[in-house]
Amino acid sequence: MALELQLISPVEVAKDFALAVQEYTLLAGQSLTNFFRRPLYMGDMLQQADLIGVGSLPIVVLTGLSVGALLALNSASTLQRFGGITLIGQLVSLGMVTELGPLITGLMVAGRNASGMASELGSMIVTEQIDAMRALGTDPTKKLVTPRVGATAFMLFFLTIIADLLGLIGGWGVAHLLFGLDTQQYWTSVWQILVFRDVFTGLIKPILFGFIIATVGCYYGISTRGGTQGVGRSTTQAVVASSVLILLVDFFVTKLIFAVFGYR
């Protein structure tokens, strides 16, 4: 039996990619403009905030503690060689607040919630619930996408703060219990090393990450095609795409902040 291979033209791939970028950009822009039009569907936004924020809290707590403890443990092994064990607090503080806290929290929430949004909206597409909403005069983007975007950006901001705090606590546990560092000395170095640029960097990133997670998850959910198999495919694509975009945006935002505020 002859094996038939279907060759896809690079031009067609480029066209599909450009179309996907265009559709995603339009969806993301519309989700923002919907905040300035009534109705706001505050009940849906609060429900999504509970599902996204409270539901993600256990994994954020565990991740924050473990990352902070590991960061302190790995840095201490190097600092001991140079007699700089007292600098553990500064390394943990800078690492968690400016980079690891927002990034790890964003990736954890993306893995949990981007897939959930894609599968939920994809199932609504397959069962024609979204078509029914349009027939009744309800804007699916305003009803389904905007509440998720607002709730994810809002809750990821506070989840990142919690992860930062727990990372510092995890670092303190390792520094104090394993290496005998004084508690007051640790926390003093933690607060003194931070400047406005560090705090601003650590708080602006989760808002951008939350926007990416929600819009990417909703985009792949709404663009689901191919029945139940399409739902599974959209779920996987949402997690991969949101994670890659988070990493890319993290790099460019850090570079931009360095260009604006300068290096240390």
pLDDT band at 264 (very low <50, low <70, confident <90, very high): low
Q: Kindly report the CA angle at 71 between 100 and 196, in degrees rounded to 5? A: 45
Convert the pLDDT of each residue in 171-183 to its tens digit. 999 888 888 888 8
27 neighbors 145 (Cβ within 8 angstroms): yes
Which DSSP state fits 144? Answer: I
Convert the pLDDT of each residue in 92-114 to its tens digit. 999 899 999 999 999 999 998 99
Distance CA 264, CA 260 (A): 12
In a domain, 24, yes or no: no
In a domain, 94, yes or no: yes
Highest mean pLDDT among 3-12, 148-157, 177-186: 148-157
Range of the structural domain that residue 97 is part of: 40-261
In a domain, 28, yes or no: no
Model's pTM, two decimal places? 0.89
Domain tally, the chain: 1
The distance between the two most distant Cα atoms of the chain, rounded to a whole number of Å, is: 76
Convert the pLDDT of each residue in 159-170 to its tens digit. 999 999 999 999
Convert the pLDDT of each residue in 12-64 to its tens digit. 878 888 888 898 999 889 888 888 888 888 888 899 999 888 889 999 999 99
In a domain, 7, yes or no: no
Convert the pLDDT of each residue in 194-212 to its tens digit. 888 889 999 999 999 999 9
Is residue 213's pLDDT more than 50?
yes
Query: Distances in Å between the alpha carbon of 5 and those of 2, 8, 229?
Result: 10, 10, 22
In a domain, 3, yes or no: no
Convert the pLDDT of each residue in 214-250 to its tens digit. 999 999 988 888 777 888 888 999 999 999 999 999 9
pLDDT band at 66 (very low <50, low <70, confident <90, very high): very high
In a domain, 243, yes or no: yes
pLDDT of 6 reads 53
In a domain, 232, yes or no: yes
In a domain, 206, yes or no: yes
